[in-house]
Structure 1
Amino acid sequence: MARKFRGSEEVKVDAKGRVSIPAKFRRVFESADPEWETGKRPQLVVVFGTESWKHLQLFTMQAIDEVDEQISRLQRGSAARNLLENIYHGHAEEAEIDGDGRLVLPQKLREKIGLTDSAFFIASGDYLKVWSPENYREEERELEARVPEFEPGADPLSLLALASSQTITEAG
């Protein structure tokens, strides 16, 4: 199993759209790129999604291969497969981390998610999400509100019990 991303970090965006990928995240991209070796640039896939998305998803090569495999198992022509192919193939770009540990985000992607002078990275398991700091703060408030079982001040791990009970119900 590939290493997972952990943590979050805010970084500067320069005038050319370059963002420094924090070292802890670069190590994950390197370890999950089967073609990477010392001296080479780690590859990744930037998914910019549909018009409503306010973030980017940065997938390791290993993770995007798993997504592609899952999509290919869906019935050709099905609505779900068409949507997923549209997002993860059509609204995505291959990219690489340069020798200085930076990723260049094209202007159209920066504009799409509202990036100006800083970007907020947050781990999502086998991929990273990139937000404008302002959009992320709004998203975090909305995340908690969308989980009615999560009461303010509650232990977030309590939600895992809910997931376990759903699995048992679905299996039974």
Structure 2
Amino acid sequence: MGRVFRGQSTHKVDGKGRVSIPALFRRVIEASDPNWTDGLNPELVIVYGDPRRKCLECYTMDAMQEVDAKIAALPRGSNARKILQSVMHGHSHPTSIDETGRLVLPAKLREKLQLRGEALFIAAGDTFQIWNPETYAAEEAPKTEDWLQQQPEDFDPLSLLDNPEGV
């Protein structure tokens, strides 16, 4: 895995769907785009194909190449390959960050999230997610909080690194 996204922040979305990418995220996107050099716009891929997901998953070019290689390794014609090609290739939006550090979210993607004015960016390792802040606060954040509440008082989340299947 290449560089890792860290942190979260909320940014305004204008009427044309333009939104600033967090500066720290931009550095990771640049470092993870093999074609990027100073003066060029770094590229990324926004995946929106899983209808159960209430966010957009944003992949760096390096992360997307890893996914593409794993899909290509699946047997041609297999159900898994067809589904993954549909979700990851057919329902994705290749894009770039403009010279002012902004990303343009097409109307179709804004509608999927029901974005009205603000977008929440949250790190997810080698990807990051874009959420409607209200949806995240109401549905996603409570999942982690509820799960942590179910753990013993002396539970250390870092213990999951030694037993990831225990989640």
TM-score, with length taken from structure 2:
0.90
Note the residue ranges of structure 2 that are not aligned, 5 or more in a row: none
- Residue-by-residue CA offset, 1:99-147 (whole Å, 9 max, x unaligned): 1000000111001012111111111111111101111112121245468
**Using the alignment, how far apart are the partners of 1:87 and 1:40 within structure 2?**
28
Alignment of 1:5-84 (within 5 A): 5-84=5-84
Match of 1:113 in 2: 113
3-state DSSP of counterpart to 2:95 = strand
2:160 and 2:166 in contact (8 A); partners too: no
Q: 124-133 or 152-161: which moved more?
A: 152-161
Note the residue ranges of structure 1 that are not aligned, 5 or more in a row: 167-172
TM-score, with length taken from structure 1:
0.88
- Residue-by-residue CA offset, 1:16-68 (whole Å, 9 max, x unaligned): 11110011000011001111111100011010122222100111001100000
> Compared with structure 1, are the counterparts of its residues 11 and 149 closer, same or farther at alpha carbon in structure 2 (3 Å cutoff)?
same
3-state DSSP of counterpart to 1:157 = helix
> Compared with structure 1, are the counterparts of its residues 146 and 114 closer, same or farther at alpha carbon in structure 2 (3 Å cutoff)?
farther
Percent identity of the aligned residues? 49
Match of 2:101 in 1: 101
2:13 and 2:116 in contact (8 A); partners too: yes
1:54 and 1:114 in contact (8 A); partners too: no
- Coordinate RMSD, CA, aligned: 2.2
Amino acid aligned to 2:160 = L
Post-superposition offset of 1:162: 2.4
Post-superposition offset of 1:153: 7.5
**Using the alignment, how far apart are the partners of 2:123 and 2:7 within structure 1?**
6
What stretches of structure 1 move > 3 A for 4+ residues in a row? 143-154
**Using the alignment, how far apart are the partners of 1:78 and 1:88 within structure 2?**
15
**Using the alignment, how far apart are the partners of 1:82 and 1:143 within structure 2?**
31
> Compared with structure 1, are the counterparts of its residues 165 and 9 closer, same or farther at alpha carbon in structure 2 (3 Å cutoff)?
closer
> Compared with structure 1, are the counterparts of its residues 82 and 164 closer, same or farther at alpha carbon in structure 2 (3 Å cutoff)?
closer
Aligned: 1:141 with 2:142: yes
**Using the alignment, how far apart are the partners of 2:122 and 2:128 within structure 1?**
6
**Matched residue pairs, number?**
166
Amino acid aligned to 2:109 = L
1:18 and 1:105 in contact (8 A); partners too: yes
> Compared with structure 1, are the counterparts of its residues 111 and 144 closer, same or farther at alpha carbon in structure 2 (3 Å cutoff)?
same
